[in-house]
Amino acid sequence: MSDRELSCTNTAGQFMDRGRMNQNGVVQPLLTDLYQITMAYAYWKSGKTDDHAVFDLFFRTNPFHGEFTIFAGLDECLKFLDSFHYSDSDIEYLKQTLPEGTENEFFDYLGNLTAKDVTLYAIDEGTVAFPRVPIIKVEGPLIIVQLLETTLLTLVNYASLMATNAARYRMVAGKHVNLLEFGLRRAQGPDGGLSASKYSYIGGFDGTSNVLAGKLFNIPVKGTHAHAYITSFSGIGELKTRLLKHKTTGVTGDLLELAVQYRQALSQLLDVSMEESSEGELAAMVSYAIAFPDGFMALVDTYDVKRSGLLNFSAVALALNDLGYRAVGVRIDSGDLAYLSCLARETFERVGENFKVPWFSKLTIVASNDINEDTILSLNEQGHKIDCFGIGTHLVTCQRQPALGCVYKLVEINGQPRIKLSQDVEKVTMPGHKNAFRLYSADGHALIDLLQKVTEPPPAVGQKVLCRHPFQESKRAYVIPSHVESLYKIYWQNGKIVQPLPRLEQVRERVQMSLKTLRNDHKRTLNPTPYKVAVSDNLYNFIHDLWLQNAPIGELS
Protein backbone atom coordinates (compact mmCIF):
# COMPACT_ATOMS: atom_id res chain seq x y z
CA MET A 1 0.00 0.00 0.00
CA SER A 2 1.49 3.35 -0.91
CA ASP A 3 1.48 6.31 1.46
CA ARG A 4 -1.39 7.74 -0.53
CA GLU A 5 -3.52 4.79 0.32
CA LEU A 6 -4.21 5.62 3.92
CA SER A 7 -5.22 9.10 4.71
CA CYS A 8 -2.21 10.11 6.79
CA THR A 9 1.29 10.12 5.42
CA ASN A 10 4.58 10.21 7.22
CA THR A 11 6.76 13.28 7.23
CA ALA A 12 8.95 12.16 10.09
CA GLY A 13 12.25 11.68 8.26
CA GLN A 14 13.38 15.21 8.86
CA PHE A 15 13.16 14.82 12.62
CA MET A 16 15.27 11.73 12.85
CA ASP A 17 18.91 10.89 12.98
CA ARG A 18 18.97 8.14 10.32
CA GLY A 19 15.98 6.31 11.74
CA ARG A 20 17.55 5.73 15.14
CA MET A 21 16.34 7.16 18.33
CA ASN A 22 18.02 8.87 21.19
CA GLN A 23 18.15 7.06 24.48
CA ASN A 24 14.74 6.78 26.04
CA GLY A 25 14.86 9.22 28.98
CA VAL A 26 13.50 6.67 31.43
CA VAL A 27 16.49 4.38 30.82
CA GLN A 28 19.09 5.35 33.43
CA PRO A 29 21.18 3.58 36.08
CA LEU A 30 18.48 3.84 38.77
CA LEU A 31 16.05 1.98 36.51
CA THR A 32 17.05 -1.20 38.29
CA ASP A 33 16.20 -3.41 41.25
CA LEU A 34 17.44 -2.24 44.64
CA TYR A 35 19.25 -5.53 45.17
CA GLN A 36 21.76 -4.71 42.43
CA ILE A 37 22.89 -1.69 44.42
CA THR A 38 22.92 -3.42 47.80
CA MET A 39 24.96 -6.25 46.24
CA ALA A 40 27.30 -3.65 44.75
CA TYR A 41 27.93 -2.29 48.24
CA ALA A 42 28.55 -5.74 49.67
CA TYR A 43 30.89 -6.61 46.76
CA TRP A 44 32.71 -3.34 47.38
CA LYS A 45 32.97 -3.97 51.14
CA SER A 46 34.32 -7.46 50.57
CA GLY A 47 37.07 -6.28 48.21
CA LYS A 48 35.56 -7.78 45.08
CA THR A 49 35.50 -4.50 43.18
CA ASP A 50 37.98 -5.61 40.57
CA ASP A 51 36.99 -9.25 40.27
CA HIS A 52 36.55 -10.04 36.60
CA ALA A 53 33.12 -11.45 35.77
CA VAL A 54 31.34 -12.84 32.74
CA PHE A 55 27.53 -12.86 32.59
CA ASP A 56 25.31 -14.50 29.94
CA LEU A 57 21.95 -13.04 28.98
CA PHE A 58 19.67 -15.73 27.53
CA PHE A 59 16.15 -17.18 27.60
CA ARG A 60 15.12 -20.74 28.31
CA THR A 61 12.02 -21.13 26.16
CA ASN A 62 10.67 -19.47 23.04
CA PRO A 63 7.48 -17.46 23.41
CA PHE A 64 4.01 -18.09 21.90
CA HIS A 65 4.50 -21.90 21.76
CA GLY A 66 6.93 -21.19 18.94
CA GLU A 67 10.41 -22.44 18.20
CA PHE A 68 12.17 -19.16 17.48
CA THR A 69 12.67 -15.72 19.00
CA ILE A 70 13.71 -12.50 17.33
CA PHE A 71 16.43 -10.76 19.32
CA ALA A 72 15.75 -7.03 19.68
CA GLY A 73 16.69 -4.20 22.00
CA LEU A 74 20.47 -4.19 21.48
CA ASP A 75 20.61 -0.62 20.20
CA GLU A 76 19.03 0.59 23.44
CA CYS A 77 21.38 -1.54 25.58
CA LEU A 78 24.41 0.03 23.93
CA LYS A 79 23.08 3.53 24.42
CA PHE A 80 22.49 2.67 28.06
CA LEU A 81 26.14 1.62 28.47
CA ASP A 82 27.25 4.74 26.68
CA SER A 83 25.38 7.02 29.05
CA PHE A 84 25.85 4.97 32.24
CA HIS A 85 26.60 7.43 35.03
CA TYR A 86 24.96 8.20 38.39
CA SER A 87 24.01 11.87 38.59
CA ASP A 88 24.51 13.91 41.76
CA SER A 89 20.81 13.59 42.56
CA ASP A 90 20.97 9.81 41.99
CA ILE A 91 23.79 9.61 44.53
CA GLU A 92 21.86 11.81 46.96
CA TYR A 93 18.83 9.58 46.61
CA LEU A 94 20.91 6.43 47.17
CA LYS A 95 22.49 7.95 50.28
CA GLN A 96 19.00 8.39 51.70
CA THR A 97 17.85 4.96 50.58
CA LEU A 98 20.69 2.65 51.58
CA PRO A 99 20.92 1.79 55.28
CA GLU A 100 22.54 4.24 57.63
CA GLY A 101 26.18 3.35 58.05
CA THR A 102 26.75 2.68 54.35
CA GLU A 103 30.22 4.13 53.89
CA ASN A 104 30.56 7.43 52.10
CA GLU A 105 33.50 6.20 50.02
CA PHE A 106 31.12 3.76 48.33
CA PHE A 107 29.03 6.65 47.08
CA ASP A 108 32.20 8.36 45.82
CA TYR A 109 32.99 5.11 43.99
CA LEU A 110 29.48 4.97 42.46
CA GLY A 111 29.68 8.64 41.47
CA ASN A 112 32.74 7.91 39.32
CA LEU A 113 31.48 4.62 37.90
CA THR A 114 31.02 4.24 34.12
CA ALA A 115 30.84 1.25 31.76
CA LYS A 116 34.25 1.96 30.22
CA ASP A 117 35.79 -1.28 31.50
CA VAL A 118 32.90 -3.42 30.25
CA THR A 119 33.01 -5.50 27.06
CA LEU A 120 29.67 -6.50 25.54
CA TYR A 121 29.33 -9.22 22.92
CA ALA A 122 26.03 -9.81 21.17
CA ILE A 123 24.23 -11.53 18.36
CA ASP A 124 23.15 -9.00 15.71
CA GLU A 125 19.83 -7.30 16.52
CA GLY A 126 17.03 -8.72 14.37
CA THR A 127 18.54 -12.23 14.21
CA VAL A 128 16.61 -15.36 15.17
CA ALA A 129 17.79 -16.67 18.52
CA PHE A 130 17.21 -19.88 20.44
CA PRO A 131 16.93 -21.02 24.03
CA ARG A 132 20.12 -21.20 26.10
CA VAL A 133 22.31 -19.56 23.48
CA PRO A 134 23.35 -16.29 25.12
CA ILE A 135 22.15 -13.37 23.04
CA ILE A 136 24.37 -10.98 24.97
CA LYS A 137 27.54 -11.66 26.98
CA VAL A 138 28.85 -9.01 29.34
CA GLU A 139 32.38 -9.08 30.70
CA GLY A 140 34.17 -6.73 33.08
CA PRO A 141 34.54 -5.72 36.75
CA LEU A 142 32.01 -7.62 38.83
CA ILE A 143 30.26 -4.59 40.35
CA ILE A 144 29.49 -2.81 37.13
CA VAL A 145 28.44 -5.90 35.17
CA GLN A 146 26.16 -6.91 38.04
CA LEU A 147 24.65 -3.41 38.13
CA LEU A 148 23.69 -3.71 34.46
CA GLU A 149 21.49 -6.82 34.94
CA THR A 150 17.98 -5.49 35.41
CA THR A 151 18.20 -2.66 32.92
CA LEU A 152 19.61 -4.88 30.18
CA LEU A 153 16.88 -7.43 30.85
CA THR A 154 14.09 -4.87 30.70
CA LEU A 155 15.52 -3.51 27.46
CA VAL A 156 15.77 -6.93 25.80
CA ASN A 157 12.80 -8.87 27.14
CA TYR A 158 9.86 -6.82 25.89
CA ALA A 159 11.67 -5.71 22.72
CA SER A 160 12.38 -9.30 21.71
CA LEU A 161 8.91 -10.51 22.71
CA MET A 162 7.27 -7.75 20.69
CA ALA A 163 9.49 -8.21 17.63
CA THR A 164 8.79 -11.96 17.76
CA ASN A 165 5.05 -11.41 18.09
CA ALA A 166 5.04 -9.00 15.15
CA ALA A 167 7.13 -11.39 13.05
CA ARG A 168 4.61 -14.16 13.76
CA TYR A 169 1.71 -11.94 12.62
CA ARG A 170 3.70 -11.14 9.48
CA MET A 171 4.25 -14.84 8.81
CA VAL A 172 0.57 -15.75 9.06
CA ALA A 173 -0.61 -12.68 7.15
CA GLY A 174 1.81 -13.27 4.25
CA LYS A 175 4.00 -10.80 2.41
CA HIS A 176 1.33 -8.95 0.49
CA VAL A 177 -1.00 -7.85 3.26
CA ASN A 178 -0.32 -4.57 5.03
CA LEU A 179 -0.03 -4.68 8.79
CA LEU A 180 -0.59 -1.58 10.89
CA GLU A 181 -0.04 -1.34 14.63
CA PHE A 182 -2.98 0.40 16.35
CA GLY A 183 -2.17 -0.49 19.96
CA LEU A 184 -1.18 2.69 21.80
CA ARG A 185 -4.48 3.02 23.67
CA ARG A 186 -4.18 -0.54 24.98
CA ALA A 187 -0.44 -0.80 25.57
CA GLN A 188 1.12 -1.19 29.00
CA GLY A 189 1.60 2.51 29.56
CA PRO A 190 3.19 5.20 27.41
CA ASP A 191 6.64 3.63 27.25
CA GLY A 192 5.13 0.22 26.47
CA GLY A 193 3.18 1.88 23.67
CA LEU A 194 6.26 3.48 22.14
CA SER A 195 8.29 0.29 22.39
CA ALA A 196 5.42 -1.68 20.86
CA SER A 197 5.35 0.62 17.84
CA LYS A 198 9.12 0.46 17.39
CA TYR A 199 9.54 -3.29 17.79
CA SER A 200 6.43 -4.26 15.83
CA TYR A 201 7.92 -2.28 12.94
CA ILE A 202 11.19 -4.20 13.32
CA GLY A 203 9.21 -7.46 13.41
CA GLY A 204 7.57 -6.72 10.06
CA PHE A 205 4.66 -4.31 10.51
CA ASP A 206 4.38 -1.59 7.88
CA GLY A 207 3.41 1.32 10.06
CA THR A 208 1.82 2.58 13.22
CA SER A 209 -0.94 4.94 14.25
CA ASN A 210 1.35 6.22 17.05
CA VAL A 211 2.40 9.69 15.98
CA LEU A 212 5.22 10.12 18.50
CA ALA A 213 6.70 6.77 17.43
CA GLY A 214 6.59 8.06 13.86
CA LYS A 215 8.49 11.17 14.83
CA LEU A 216 11.02 9.50 17.11
CA PHE A 217 11.80 6.40 15.08
CA ASN A 218 10.97 7.44 11.53
CA ILE A 219 8.30 4.76 11.25
CA PRO A 220 5.53 5.41 8.69
CA VAL A 221 2.45 6.72 10.53
CA LYS A 222 -0.90 5.76 9.05
CA GLY A 223 -4.51 5.68 10.01
CA THR A 224 -8.18 6.01 9.17
CA HIS A 225 -10.82 7.60 11.42
CA ALA A 226 -12.97 6.57 14.37
CA HIS A 227 -16.69 5.86 14.68
CA ALA A 228 -17.03 9.19 16.48
CA TYR A 229 -16.47 11.00 13.20
CA ILE A 230 -19.44 9.23 11.64
CA THR A 231 -21.71 9.53 14.66
CA SER A 232 -20.93 13.23 15.05
CA PHE A 233 -23.18 13.89 12.01
CA SER A 234 -26.89 13.21 12.06
CA GLY A 235 -27.94 14.44 8.62
CA ILE A 236 -26.89 16.25 5.49
CA GLY A 237 -28.39 19.47 6.81
CA GLU A 238 -25.38 19.72 9.11
CA LEU A 239 -22.89 19.96 6.27
CA LYS A 240 -21.31 23.39 6.33
CA THR A 241 -19.48 22.77 3.10
CA ARG A 242 -20.35 20.53 0.18
CA LEU A 243 -18.19 21.99 -2.54
CA LEU A 244 -14.92 20.62 -3.85
CA LYS A 245 -12.69 21.80 -6.70
CA HIS A 246 -12.00 19.36 -9.51
CA LYS A 247 -8.50 17.97 -9.03
CA THR A 248 -7.22 18.95 -12.49
CA THR A 249 -9.59 21.57 -13.92
CA GLY A 250 -10.11 23.43 -10.65
CA VAL A 251 -13.81 23.85 -11.48
CA THR A 252 -15.93 23.73 -8.31
CA GLY A 253 -18.37 20.83 -8.03
CA ASP A 254 -21.05 19.97 -5.50
CA LEU A 255 -19.78 16.75 -3.92
CA LEU A 256 -22.94 16.25 -1.85
CA GLU A 257 -25.25 16.61 -4.82
CA LEU A 258 -23.19 14.18 -6.87
CA ALA A 259 -23.08 11.72 -3.98
CA VAL A 260 -26.85 11.91 -3.45
CA GLN A 261 -27.43 11.18 -7.15
CA TYR A 262 -25.07 8.23 -7.11
CA ARG A 263 -26.64 6.96 -3.89
CA GLN A 264 -30.01 6.73 -5.60
CA ALA A 265 -28.60 4.81 -8.54
CA LEU A 266 -26.58 2.56 -6.25
CA SER A 267 -29.53 1.69 -4.05
CA GLN A 268 -31.08 -0.04 -7.07
CA LEU A 269 -27.86 -1.68 -8.21
CA LEU A 270 -27.05 -2.99 -4.73
CA ASP A 271 -30.66 -3.68 -3.80
CA VAL A 272 -30.47 -1.60 -0.63
CA SER A 273 -33.25 0.73 0.38
CA MET A 274 -32.25 4.37 0.83
CA GLU A 275 -34.47 4.63 3.90
CA GLU A 276 -32.44 1.98 5.68
CA SER A 277 -29.12 3.71 5.09
CA SER A 278 -27.93 6.49 7.34
CA GLU A 279 -27.97 10.06 6.13
CA GLY A 280 -25.70 11.10 8.99
CA GLU A 281 -23.15 8.60 7.75
CA LEU A 282 -23.44 10.03 4.24
CA ALA A 283 -22.87 13.55 5.58
CA ALA A 284 -19.85 12.41 7.59
CA MET A 285 -18.33 10.69 4.56
CA VAL A 286 -18.92 13.69 2.29
CA SER A 287 -17.27 16.01 4.79
CA TYR A 288 -14.33 13.65 5.30
CA ALA A 289 -13.88 13.34 1.56
CA ILE A 290 -13.80 17.14 1.26
CA ALA A 291 -11.09 17.26 3.92
CA PHE A 292 -9.05 14.43 2.33
CA PRO A 293 -10.12 14.11 -1.31
CA ASP A 294 -6.90 12.24 -2.19
CA GLY A 295 -6.96 9.99 0.83
CA PHE A 296 -10.60 9.12 1.33
CA MET A 297 -10.80 6.06 3.57
CA ALA A 298 -14.03 5.52 5.47
CA LEU A 299 -15.23 3.36 8.32
CA VAL A 300 -18.25 1.48 6.99
CA ASP A 301 -19.51 -0.52 9.98
CA THR A 302 -21.00 2.19 12.19
CA TYR A 303 -24.62 1.31 11.34
CA ASP A 304 -24.68 -1.57 8.89
CA VAL A 305 -21.95 -2.48 6.43
CA LYS A 306 -24.30 -3.87 3.77
CA ARG A 307 -27.33 -1.61 4.17
CA SER A 308 -25.59 1.65 4.84
CA GLY A 309 -21.78 1.83 4.92
CA LEU A 310 -20.93 0.38 1.52
CA LEU A 311 -23.76 2.27 -0.17
CA ASN A 312 -22.71 5.63 1.26
CA PHE A 313 -19.01 5.01 0.69
CA SER A 314 -19.54 3.99 -2.93
CA ALA A 315 -21.72 7.05 -3.57
CA VAL A 316 -19.10 9.43 -2.18
CA ALA A 317 -16.23 7.61 -3.94
CA LEU A 318 -18.05 7.85 -7.32
CA ALA A 319 -18.75 11.53 -6.69
CA LEU A 320 -15.06 12.07 -5.91
CA ASN A 321 -14.18 10.26 -9.12
CA ASP A 322 -16.28 12.77 -11.08
CA LEU A 323 -14.15 15.49 -9.55
CA GLY A 324 -10.90 13.78 -10.53
CA TYR A 325 -10.03 12.04 -7.23
CA ARG A 326 -9.52 8.41 -6.44
CA ALA A 327 -10.83 7.12 -3.10
CA VAL A 328 -8.59 4.87 -1.02
CA GLY A 329 -10.93 2.36 0.61
CA VAL A 330 -12.86 1.26 3.67
CA ARG A 331 -12.25 -0.02 7.17
CA ILE A 332 -14.45 -2.71 8.74
CA ASP A 333 -14.23 -2.85 12.55
CA SER A 334 -16.89 -5.37 13.58
CA GLY A 335 -18.87 -8.36 12.43
CA ASP A 336 -17.70 -11.31 10.36
CA LEU A 337 -14.58 -9.91 8.75
CA ALA A 338 -14.31 -12.72 6.18
CA TYR A 339 -17.88 -12.34 4.99
CA LEU A 340 -17.93 -8.54 5.11
CA SER A 341 -14.61 -8.15 3.29
CA CYS A 342 -15.86 -10.45 0.50
CA LEU A 343 -19.10 -8.50 0.38
CA ALA A 344 -17.17 -5.23 0.15
CA ARG A 345 -14.96 -6.54 -2.67
CA GLU A 346 -17.97 -7.89 -4.62
CA THR A 347 -19.73 -4.57 -4.17
CA PHE A 348 -16.71 -2.63 -5.44
CA GLU A 349 -16.38 -4.95 -8.44
CA ARG A 350 -20.06 -4.52 -9.34
CA VAL A 351 -20.01 -0.77 -8.86
CA GLY A 352 -16.75 -0.41 -10.81
CA GLU A 353 -18.11 -2.42 -13.70
CA ASN A 354 -21.49 -0.69 -13.73
CA PHE A 355 -20.13 2.84 -13.59
CA LYS A 356 -17.05 2.10 -15.72
CA VAL A 357 -14.58 2.92 -12.97
CA PRO A 358 -12.08 0.05 -13.20
CA TRP A 359 -9.98 1.00 -10.14
CA PHE A 360 -13.01 0.57 -7.89
CA SER A 361 -12.39 -3.16 -7.73
CA LYS A 362 -8.94 -2.44 -6.28
CA LEU A 363 -10.12 -0.31 -3.36
CA THR A 364 -8.30 -1.08 -0.13
CA ILE A 365 -10.15 -3.07 2.53
CA VAL A 366 -8.81 -2.59 6.05
CA ALA A 367 -10.04 -4.85 8.87
CA SER A 368 -9.65 -4.31 12.59
CA ASN A 369 -11.28 -5.45 15.86
CA ASP A 370 -9.48 -7.67 18.31
CA ILE A 371 -7.44 -9.44 15.67
CA ASN A 372 -4.80 -11.96 16.67
CA GLU A 373 -2.66 -14.64 15.01
CA ASP A 374 -5.45 -17.23 15.17
CA THR A 375 -8.02 -14.85 13.70
CA ILE A 376 -5.75 -14.22 10.72
CA LEU A 377 -5.17 -17.95 10.24
CA SER A 378 -8.89 -18.59 10.41
CA LEU A 379 -9.67 -15.75 8.00
CA ASN A 380 -7.11 -17.19 5.59
CA GLU A 381 -8.82 -20.57 5.78
CA GLN A 382 -12.27 -19.09 5.23
CA GLY A 383 -11.15 -16.84 2.37
CA HIS A 384 -11.22 -13.06 2.70
CA LYS A 385 -10.49 -9.93 0.70
CA ILE A 386 -8.67 -7.91 3.33
CA ASP A 387 -5.66 -5.88 2.16
CA CYS A 388 -4.66 -4.48 5.50
CA PHE A 389 -5.05 -5.46 9.14
CA GLY A 390 -5.07 -2.83 11.87
CA ILE A 391 -4.00 -4.63 15.05
CA GLY A 392 -3.86 -3.28 18.58
CA THR A 393 -4.57 -5.09 21.82
CA HIS A 394 -3.34 -8.62 21.09
CA LEU A 395 -0.20 -7.40 19.38
CA VAL A 396 1.06 -4.83 21.84
CA THR A 397 0.07 -6.57 25.06
CA CYS A 398 1.39 -9.89 23.69
CA GLN A 399 -1.77 -11.31 25.17
CA ARG A 400 -0.85 -14.89 24.28
CA GLN A 401 2.34 -14.66 26.32
CA PRO A 402 2.96 -11.43 28.15
CA ALA A 403 6.65 -11.86 29.01
CA LEU A 404 9.84 -13.34 27.63
CA GLY A 405 11.95 -14.94 30.32
CA CYS A 406 15.44 -13.70 29.55
CA VAL A 407 17.79 -14.12 32.51
CA TYR A 408 21.30 -12.85 33.28
CA LYS A 409 23.59 -15.39 34.91
CA LEU A 410 27.15 -15.31 36.20
CA VAL A 411 29.13 -17.92 34.28
CA GLU A 412 32.73 -17.08 35.13
CA ILE A 413 34.63 -15.13 37.78
CA ASN A 414 38.37 -14.44 37.73
CA GLY A 415 38.73 -17.08 35.04
CA GLN A 416 36.89 -19.69 37.14
CA PRO A 417 33.66 -21.14 35.73
CA ARG A 418 30.48 -20.82 37.75
CA ILE A 419 27.46 -23.08 37.52
CA LYS A 420 24.00 -22.57 39.01
CA LEU A 421 22.48 -25.95 39.83
CA SER A 422 18.77 -26.63 39.87
CA GLN A 423 16.43 -29.57 40.39
CA ASP A 424 15.07 -28.54 37.03
CA VAL A 425 17.75 -29.56 34.50
CA GLU A 426 16.55 -26.87 32.09
CA LYS A 427 17.55 -24.28 34.66
CA VAL A 428 21.14 -25.45 35.16
CA THR A 429 23.38 -22.73 33.71
CA MET A 430 26.09 -23.41 31.16
CA PRO A 431 29.31 -22.37 32.86
CA GLY A 432 32.28 -20.51 31.42
CA HIS A 433 32.92 -18.00 28.70
CA LYS A 434 31.51 -19.53 25.55
CA ASN A 435 31.34 -18.89 21.84
CA ALA A 436 28.34 -19.73 19.68
CA PHE A 437 28.24 -20.82 16.06
CA ARG A 438 25.35 -21.42 13.70
CA LEU A 439 25.96 -24.35 11.38
CA TYR A 440 24.21 -24.36 8.00
CA SER A 441 23.29 -27.17 5.64
CA ALA A 442 24.10 -27.15 1.92
CA ASP A 443 20.63 -25.80 1.08
CA GLY A 444 21.28 -22.67 3.15
CA HIS A 445 19.13 -23.58 6.15
CA ALA A 446 20.30 -23.19 9.72
CA LEU A 447 20.81 -26.68 11.15
CA ILE A 448 21.98 -26.25 14.70
CA ASP A 449 23.51 -23.71 17.10
CA LEU A 450 26.69 -24.95 18.74
CA LEU A 451 28.15 -23.60 21.98
CA GLN A 452 31.84 -24.13 22.66
CA LYS A 453 34.41 -23.00 25.18
CA VAL A 454 36.13 -19.83 23.91
CA THR A 455 39.43 -21.68 23.93
CA GLU A 456 38.25 -24.23 21.33
CA PRO A 457 38.93 -23.73 17.61
CA PRO A 458 35.77 -22.77 15.70
CA PRO A 459 34.01 -25.44 13.65
CA ALA A 460 35.17 -25.50 10.03
CA VAL A 461 33.21 -25.82 6.80
CA GLY A 462 33.24 -29.39 5.49
CA GLN A 463 34.63 -30.83 8.71
CA LYS A 464 32.67 -33.20 10.88
CA VAL A 465 31.79 -31.78 14.28
CA LEU A 466 30.21 -33.66 17.16
CA CYS A 467 27.19 -31.78 18.50
CA ARG A 468 25.85 -32.93 21.87
CA HIS A 469 22.65 -32.22 23.73
CA PRO A 470 23.80 -30.22 26.77
CA PHE A 471 22.12 -32.48 29.32
CA GLN A 472 21.10 -35.76 27.67
CA GLU A 473 24.11 -37.97 27.17
CA SER A 474 22.66 -40.18 24.46
CA LYS A 475 21.52 -37.31 22.24
CA ARG A 476 24.32 -36.37 19.88
CA ALA A 477 24.92 -36.01 16.18
CA TYR A 478 27.71 -35.36 13.72
CA VAL A 479 27.26 -32.31 11.54
CA ILE A 480 29.31 -31.40 8.47
CA PRO A 481 28.48 -27.71 8.01
CA SER A 482 28.36 -26.08 4.57
CA HIS A 483 28.62 -22.71 6.20
CA VAL A 484 29.59 -21.64 9.72
CA GLU A 485 28.44 -18.36 11.21
CA SER A 486 30.16 -17.02 14.29
CA LEU A 487 27.25 -15.48 16.22
CA TYR A 488 28.97 -12.91 18.45
CA LYS A 489 30.44 -9.56 17.67
CA ILE A 490 31.99 -7.20 20.17
CA TYR A 491 29.58 -4.26 20.29
CA TRP A 492 30.98 -2.32 23.25
CA GLN A 493 34.61 -2.07 24.37
CA ASN A 494 36.91 0.52 25.98
CA GLY A 495 34.00 2.87 26.58
CA LYS A 496 32.79 2.92 22.99
CA ILE A 497 30.23 1.35 20.67
CA VAL A 498 32.57 -0.46 18.29
CA GLN A 499 30.20 -1.62 15.53
CA PRO A 500 28.25 0.56 13.12
CA LEU A 501 24.65 0.44 14.38
CA PRO A 502 22.10 -0.38 11.70
CA ARG A 503 19.06 1.78 11.07
CA LEU A 504 15.64 0.51 12.11
CA GLU A 505 14.75 -0.48 8.53
CA GLN A 506 17.97 -2.46 8.25
CA VAL A 507 17.15 -4.38 11.42
CA ARG A 508 13.65 -4.92 10.00
CA GLU A 509 15.14 -6.38 6.82
CA ARG A 510 17.51 -8.54 8.83
CA VAL A 511 14.53 -10.10 10.65
CA GLN A 512 13.08 -11.31 7.36
CA MET A 513 16.46 -12.51 6.05
CA SER A 514 17.18 -14.34 9.27
CA LEU A 515 13.74 -15.99 9.30
CA LYS A 516 14.36 -17.21 5.75
CA THR A 517 17.30 -19.27 7.01
CA LEU A 518 14.93 -21.24 9.25
CA ARG A 519 13.21 -24.32 7.87
CA ASN A 520 9.42 -23.99 7.62
CA ASP A 521 8.80 -26.76 10.12
CA HIS A 522 10.51 -24.63 12.80
CA LYS A 523 8.22 -21.71 11.93
CA ARG A 524 4.81 -23.35 11.58
CA THR A 525 2.26 -22.29 14.18
CA LEU A 526 1.04 -25.73 15.22
CA ASN A 527 3.58 -28.05 16.87
CA PRO A 528 6.68 -26.60 15.25
CA THR A 529 9.84 -28.73 15.26
CA PRO A 530 12.32 -27.57 17.92
CA TYR A 531 15.52 -26.11 16.51
CA LYS A 532 18.56 -27.86 17.93
CA VAL A 533 20.96 -26.17 20.30
CA ALA A 534 24.05 -28.21 21.13
CA VAL A 535 27.35 -28.05 22.95
CA SER A 536 30.74 -29.32 21.80
CA ASP A 537 32.04 -32.55 23.31
CA ASN A 538 34.60 -30.49 25.18
CA LEU A 539 32.00 -28.16 26.68
CA TYR A 540 29.73 -31.12 27.50
CA ASN A 541 32.44 -32.77 29.58
CA PHE A 542 33.40 -29.47 31.19
CA ILE A 543 29.76 -28.79 32.25
CA HIS A 544 29.21 -32.25 33.61
CA ASP A 545 32.52 -32.39 35.52
CA LEU A 546 31.73 -29.07 37.12
CA TRP A 547 28.20 -30.23 37.89
CA LEU A 548 29.55 -33.28 39.72
CA GLN A 549 32.09 -31.14 41.61
CA ASN A 550 29.38 -28.74 42.75
CA ALA A 551 26.51 -31.09 43.49
CA PRO A 552 26.64 -32.18 47.13
CA ILE A 553 26.55 -35.95 47.68
CA GLY A 554 23.52 -36.83 49.77
CA GLU A 555 23.51 -39.46 52.51
CA LEU A 556 20.71 -41.98 52.84
CA SER A 557 19.68 -43.07 56.29
Ligand X SMILES: O=C(O)c1cccnc1
Ligand Y SMILES: Nc1ncnc2c1ncn2[C@@H]1O[C@H](COP(=O)(O)OP(=O)(O)OP(=O)(O)O)[C@@H](O)[C@H]1O
Closest to ligand PRP by CB, 393 vs 441, is 393
Q: How far is the CB of 389 from ligand Y (least distance, A)?
A: 9
Q: How far is the CB of 396 from ligand PRP (least distance, A)?
A: 8
Closest to ligand Y by CB, 159 vs 330, is 330
Task: Give Cβ neighbours of residue 131 (< 8 Å, ≥ 6 apart).
Answer: 58, 59, 60, 61, 62, 533
Contact present, 59 and 405 (Cβ < 8 Å): yes
Q: How far is the CB of 522 from ligand Y (least distance, A)?
A: 26
Binder among 151, 267, 308, 368 for ligand PRP (CB under 6 A): 368
Closest to ligand Y by CB, 220 vs 392, is 392
- Give the angle subtended at the CA of 175 by the CAs of 170 and 177, to the nearest 5°: 80
Q: 3-state SS of 451-508?
A: EEECCCCCCCCCCCEEEECCCCCCCEEEECCCEEEECCEEEEECCEECCCCCCHHHHH
Please tell me the distance from the alpha carbon of residue 222 to that of residue 390, in angstroms, as a whole number.
10
Binder among 320, 330, 371, 410 for ligand PRP (CB under 6 A): 371
# residues contacting ligand Y (CB under 6 A): 12
Binder among 161, 266, 338, 511 for ligand Y (CB under 6 A): 338
Please tell me the distance from the alpha carbon of residue 329 to that of residue 311, in angstroms, as a whole number.
13
Neighbour-count burial of 400, counting CB atoms closer than 10 A to its CB (0-12 exposed, 13-18 middle, 19+ buried) = middle
Q: How far is the CB of 299 from ligand X (least distance, A)?
A: 7
Closest to ligand PRP by CB, 188 vs 517, is 188
Binder among 111, 335, 405, 495 for ligand Y (CB under 6 A): 335
Closest to ligand PRP by CB, 192 vs 405, is 192
If contact means CB under 5 to 8 A according to the sort of partner, which of ligand X, ligand Y, ligand PRP, none does residue 391 touch? Answer: ligand PRP
106 three-state secondary structure = helix
Neighbour-count burial of 494, counting CB atoms closer than 10 A to its CB (0-12 exposed, 13-18 middle, 19+ buried) = exposed
Binder among 44, 182, 199, 313 for ligand PRP (CB under 6 A): 182
- The verdict on 382 binding ligand Y (CB under 6 A) reads yes
Give the bridge partners for 476, in sequence order.
468
- The verdict on 171 binding ligand Y (CB under 6 A) reads no
Closest to ligand PRP by CB, 333 vs 449, is 333
Residue of this chain nearest to ligand X (CB atom):
223
Please tell me the distance from the alpha carbon of residue 430 to that of residue 419, in angstroms, as a whole number.
7
Q: How far is the CB of 523 from ligand PRP (least distance, A)?
A: 23
Please tell me the distance from the alpha carbon of residue 143 to that of residue 22, in angstroms, as a whole number.
26
CA 393 to chain centre: 13
Contact present, 148 and 28 (Cβ < 8 Å): no
- The verdict on 150 binding ligand PRP (CB under 6 A) reads no
Residues lying near ligand X in the complex (CB under 6 A): 182, 209, 223-224, 331, 368, 390, 392
Residues that bind ligand Y (CB under 6 A): 334-338, 369-371, 375, 378-379, 382
